[in-house]
Amino acid sequence: MLPTDPERSGSEMGFTARGFLPRYRIGGDFVIRPGWTLGPRTIRDYELVYFPSGSRTRYQIADQTFALAGPCLILTPPGIEHAYIFDSDQPIRHQFIHFMLDQDGDAPLPHDHPIRSIPAHVPADRAPLVVQLVASALALAAAQPDRWRSRCAALLQVALDELAASAALPARYDQRSVPAAGLPPQIIRALAHIDEHLETELSIPALAADAGWTHEYFTRVFTAAVGLPPKQEVIRRRIDRACEYLLLEASSVKEIAFRVGFRNEAYFCRAFKRWKGVRPSEYRERYADPRLHRLYLAPAVAPEKRAHPLNVYLGD
């Protein structure tokens, strides 16, 4: 344990100095169907949740209700009744991590421990580093490399310190240094069109024409902005959408291949293995979880690059 300074307050000393270290238990990145209600419930551990998009979802805890109108982080302590009422009009994605605070011995959590200073609802722009730390912890839990649990604990420790620090920021604080996505509107429009028409024959020249650019210029700008040429990005998004169908549905591999725009099952299987490292059937066997209630899960509307699968428990 690091030495502590008696002149510093509990919130200033941080989690390491106080001796309580977060222990990752389980996490995930789920997309919920519109209109689902989770709870009322109580949990035996802490839950940190990140909502990347605003919606009409509401979070209720004790006698408070929070409208999740913008990207935000939610921290729920153990033993307190709470509920989520998800937006009735759109699927809602959220990333979550359940963790415990462990300490040698049986000492109770002190009243001045910094986690007690963290509010239940924190706008994401007040703690932007936490968003990256949550994603990194989920990636570790999915890959499970050497010492992944202790590395997740270190990431969670920093995340909780950041959240505790955010509680001291002025109420009107605005994180001006957080960069915007920065994609040209023509590329944003092209990506939206791709996601909405994955099952059809997508024409790159047609996308370029819609942007008002030549095929060559469109391809150059698209590749610089997205990181892949347009044809490869279409394949990647089709594969990611197929992953979600494989986990959520009992449809055959052939049916899913056609639903995401492939016209040849053998080519789909080769492309899937090239991107994911396993065949579609192996992916389903590895990640499908019989404990999940398929009725409340939904495919992502716009899959993006990520280091973990959607709609599966990570680190179990």
Is 172 part of any domain? no
According to the model, what pLDDT value does residue 302 have? Answer: 54
pLDDT at 206 over 90: yes
Contacts of 1 (CB under 8 A, 6+ apart): 16, 17, 19
Question: Does 34 share its domain with 152?
Answer: yes
Give the structural domain span for 62.
10-166
CA dist 233 and 217 (Å) reads 16
Distance of CA 7 to the CA centre of its chain: 38
Question: Does 144 share its domain with 238?
Answer: no
Question: Does 23 share its domain with 133?
Answer: yes
Is 5 part of any domain? no
CA dist 107 and 137 (Å) reads 27
- CB neighbourhood size of 241 (10 A): 22
Question: Does 106 share its domain with 38?
Answer: yes
Question: Does 216 share its domain with 80?
Answer: no
CA atoms within 13 A on the CB side of 22: 28
Among the ranges given (74-83, 109-118, 172-181), the one the predictor scored with the smallest mean pLDDT: 172-181
Q: Tell me the whole-structure pTM to 2 decimals.
A: 0.65
Helix intervals (H) in 45-147: 128-143
Contacts of 205 (CB under 8 A, 6+ apart): 215
Helix intervals (H) in the chain: 10-18, 128-143, 148-166, 185-196, 204-211, 215-226, 230-248, 253-259, 265-276, 280-287
Is 171 part of any domain? no
> What's the mean pLDDT when you consider all of the chain?
82
Q: How confident is the model at residue 225 (pLDDT cuts 50, 70, 90)?
A: confident
* Structure-token pair, residue 140: 């570790």
CA dist 175 and 83 (Å) reads 29
> In the chain, what is the straight-line distance between the N-terminal and C-terminal CA atoms, in Å?
28
Q: Taking residues 54-78, what's their average pLDDT?
A: 93
Which one is predicted more confidently, 276 or 13? Answer: 276
Question: Does 190 share its domain with 133?
Answer: no
Q: How confident is the model at residue 1 (pLDDT cuts 50, 70, 90)?
A: very low
Cα-Cα-Cα-Cα dihedral sign, residues 277, 279, 284, 285: negative
Q: How confident is the model at residue 104 (pLDDT cuts 50, 70, 90)?
A: very low
CA dist 41 and 76 (Å) reads 11
- CB neighbourhood size of 174 (10 A): 11
Is 224 part of any domain? yes
Q: Which of 141, 159, 166 is nearest to 47 (CA)?
A: 159
| Domain harbouring 101, CATH code | 2.60.120.280
According to the model, what pLDDT value does residue 182 have? Answer: 58
Q: What percent of the chain has pLDDT over 70?
A: 80
